């Protein structure tokens, strides 16, 4: 199966990068702009900073601009979010409702180590 699917590695990675980046940016749009069912928060607050990182890094990752830097910052933000907001409620992510933060953290860490891939708007 791997041999059959390996020719789709690059398109699958690019699609994953775009979808994950866009989904992450939606969280920022909720916080900063009050869109998509969200509530606008003060820009100069911890939640406002999270919104700036989510919207900015999500767009950069989706477009393939400064991908490794943006993904590393997004991964770090999700690690902080997990330990500040979720871990105090219990050890397991499924119990403390932190699964999304954990998944984003590790997907962005993977993207940071791999870079934008072949199809990006910027070259290294």
| Domain annotation covers residue 20 | yes
| Domain annotation covers residue 60 | yes
| Domain annotation covers residue 62 | yes
Per-residue pLDDT reduced to its tens digit, 78-124: 999 999 999 999 999 999 999 999 999 999 999 999 998 888 887 65
CA distance 77 to 85: 12
| Domain annotation covers residue 5 | no
The pTM of this model reads 0.91
| Domain annotation covers residue 119 | no
| Domain annotation covers residue 124 | no
In degrees and rounded to multiples of 5, residue 114 shows phi and psi of -100, -25
Strand segments, DSSP code E, in 1-124 are none
Per-residue pLDDT reduced to its tens digit, 27-46: 999 999 999 998 899 999 99
Please tell me the total count of domains within the chain.
Answer: 1
| Domain annotation covers residue 107 | yes
Q: 29 and 35 in contact (C-beta within 8 Å)?
A: yes
| Domain annotation covers residue 3 | no
Q: Write out the residue range of the structural domain in which residue 96 sits.
A: 11-114
């Amino acid at each position: 199966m791997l041999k059959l699917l390996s020719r789709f590695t690059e398109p699958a990675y690019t699609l994953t990068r775009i979808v994950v980046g866009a989904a992450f940016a939606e969280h920022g749009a909720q916080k900063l702009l009050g869109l998509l069912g969200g509530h606008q928060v003060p820009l100069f607050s911890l939640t406002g900073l999270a919104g700036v990182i989510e919207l900015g890094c999500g767009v950069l990752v989706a477009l393939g601009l400064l991908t490794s830097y943006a993904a590393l910052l997004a991964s770090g933000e999700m690690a902080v979010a997990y330990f500040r907001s979720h871990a105090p409620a219990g050890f397991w992510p499924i119990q403390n409702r932190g699964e999304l933060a954990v998944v984003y953290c590790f997907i962005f860490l993977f993207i940071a180590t791999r870079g934008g891939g072949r199809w990006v708007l910027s070259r290294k």
